[in-house]
Amino acid sequence: MSQVLRITEQRRVVSQAADFGRVAVLYGGKSAEREVSLDTGKAVLGALLARGVDAVGWDPAEHALSDLAAAGFDRIWIALHGPGGEDGAIQGALQWLGLPYTGSGVMASALAMDKVRSKRVFDAAGIPTPDYAIVRNRSHAVLAAEDFGYPLILKPACQGSSVGMTKVFDPDDLNGAVDLALSFDDVAIVERCIVGDEYTVAVLQGEALPSIRIETPRVFYDYRAKYESDRTRYHCPGTGSDDREQQYAALALAAFAELGCSGWGRVDFMTGSDGQPLVLEVNTVPGMTSHSLVPMAAKTFGIDFEELCWRILETSFADNAVHDHVEGVAHGA
């Protein structure tokens, strides 16, 4: 049985708003998830201001990084989604500028954003994930479809919020799905379609929050189901038993740790035909909108939205995550 990592993270408790200093909430940006990022950032900014934090909003699409460096901020709350915000780019820039920031570091952010490389890490660690194939053109997708059959999932390798993602039911729709995915990225992946329940588990300062089971009337949990639909249903806790909650929590923490993530994030799952969870991906800057999952899980855990934003801001202090090898976590042991 393979060994996987578990993350042990010591919370740095901040009791006074003044201890954070002057905070910039980075939101907006130039990715395909700009509108979601604006919603996230405005909600976070409002919560921090309500708690007395000296915070301002900052849109990198409208201001240069040199302006950020000269503005006298003490730390950064990253609310940027997608490329440029979750892929290690802004993390590297902030690190170079000497500005502490929330969430995962450069390498972990880059790995989590890249679905191909994160799956390779999961495979090497023995963390179960759906079968997949790399796609750079239509021919690659045809070969993958011959192997996996229909339906299948096709998505860009480095996008979030289901941007560019398609559930393909027959060969007639395959080329269009490939073209859509590759319009966002040079590489896409075809994933074996898992017919089962979809779950997500948020991670906050080394703890797994209660799972959420997602029900959508749409073909899959796509962008509209996530951010626009009022017909999507959420069940929290989602698993129905303590043993299952522990299984999902352990697997979420293992996936989070194997990528080197820290601070906060969210791990998404599908349940296979055998009832066992399969990790889809890790999100290092999940949404914080009115429809978002992390605030739902936190509320069930007894953490309101303002406190959640405060605790995420606490993660901008020195990284104190410790990764321990644990045997069998990925197999539900």
SS3 316: coil
Which pLDDT does position 219 carry in this prediction? Answer: 55
CA–CA distance, 43 with 22 (Å, rounded to integer): 18
Looking at the structure, tell me whether residues 221 and 185 fall in a common domain: no
- Catalytic residue check, 283: yes
Q: Are 259 and 287 within one domain?
A: yes
Residues 164, 72 within the same domain: no
Per the annotation, the verdict on 281 as an active-site residue is yes
Query: Which is the catalytic residue, given 162, 281, 292, 314?
Result: 281
Both 268 and 320 in one domain: the answer is yes
Please tell me which residue in 198, 266, 292, 316 is annotated as part of the active site: 266
User: Is 290 a member of any domain?
Assistant: yes
Pair 201, 291 in one domain: yes
Is residue 281 located within the same domain as residue 205? yes
Whether 138 maps to a domain, the answer reads yes
What b/e sequence results for 179-212 when a residue is b if at least 16 CB atoms lie within 10 Å of its CB, and e otherwise?
ebbbebbebbbbbbbbebbbbbbbbbbbebbbbb
Please name the amino acid found at residue 184. Answer: F
Determine, yes or no, domain membership for 108.
no
User: Do residues 207 and 323 both lie within one domain?
Assistant: yes
Residue 137 falls in the annotated catalytic set: no
For the question of residue 266 being annotated catalytic, the response is yes
Q: Mean pLDDT, consecutive 10-residue segments, the chain of 333 residues?
A: 53 94 96 90 98 97 89 96 91 94 96 94 96 93 92 86 83 91 90 90 96 76 50 86 94 96 95 90 92 93 96 83 44 39
For residue 239, what is the DSSP state?
A: S
Q: Are residues 288 and 168 in the same domain?
A: no
Tokens found for residue 145: 């479809």
Phi/psi at 19 (5° precision): -70, -20
Provide the domain limits for residue 155.
131-192
Q: What string of H, E and C letters represents the secondary structure of 68-131?
A: HHHCCCCEEEECCCCCCCCCCHHHHHHHHHCCCECCCCHHHHHHHHCHHHHHHHHHHHCCCCCC
Query: What is residue 232's predicted lDDT score, i.e. its pLDDT?
Result: 80
User: Radius of gyration (Cα) for the chain, nearest Å?
Assistant: 19
Would you say residue 162 lies in a domain? yes
The answer to whether 35 is a known catalytic residue is no
254 falls within a domain: yes
Is residue 282 a contact partner of residue 118, using CB atoms and an 8 Å limit? yes
How far apart CA 154 and CA 135 sit, in angstroms, is 9
Give the CA angle between residues 111, 60, 31 to the nearest 5°.
50
Is residue 110 domain-resident?
Answer: no
Candidates 105, 160, 238, 287; catalytic one: 287
Give the angle 235-240-242 at the CA atoms, nearest 5°. 125
Active site residue 274: no
* pLDDT score, position 323: 42
In this structure, are 260 and 318 located in the same domain? yes
**DSSP character for 229?**
-
Residues 42, 145 within the same domain:
no
Shared-domain flag, residues 188 and 199:
no
138 as an active site residue: the answer is: no
Q: Can you tell me which residue has the tokens 């066992």?
A: 276
- Quote the crossing angle between the two packed helices 174-182 and 138-148, to the nearest 10°: 130
Give the CA distances from residue 61 to residues 3, 87, 248, in Å, rounded to whole numbers and listed in that order. Answer: 42, 16, 37
Helix or strand holding residue 142 (H, E): helix 138-148
In degrees rounded to 5, what are phi and psi of residue 294? -60, -45
Residues 182 and 296 placed together within one structural domain of the fold? no
Q: What are phi and psi of 314, to 5 degrees?
A: -60, -30
Q: Catalytic residue at 307?
A: no
* Candidate list 9, 198, 268, 314, residue with the active-site label: 268
Bond into 130 cis (ω within 30) = no
Q: How many structural domains does the chain have? A: 3
The domain that contains 69 carries what CATH number? 3.40.50.20
**Residue 112 belongs to some domain of the structure:** no
CATH of the domain at 317: 3.30.470.20
For position 153, which CATH number holds? 3.30.1490.20
Query: Which of 192, 210, 227 is the last residue in one of the domains?
Result: 192
5 within a domain of the structure (yes/no): no
Q: Among the three residues 192, 216, 240, which one is the final residue of a domain in this structure?
A: 192
Cα separation, 304 vs 292, in Å, equals: 13
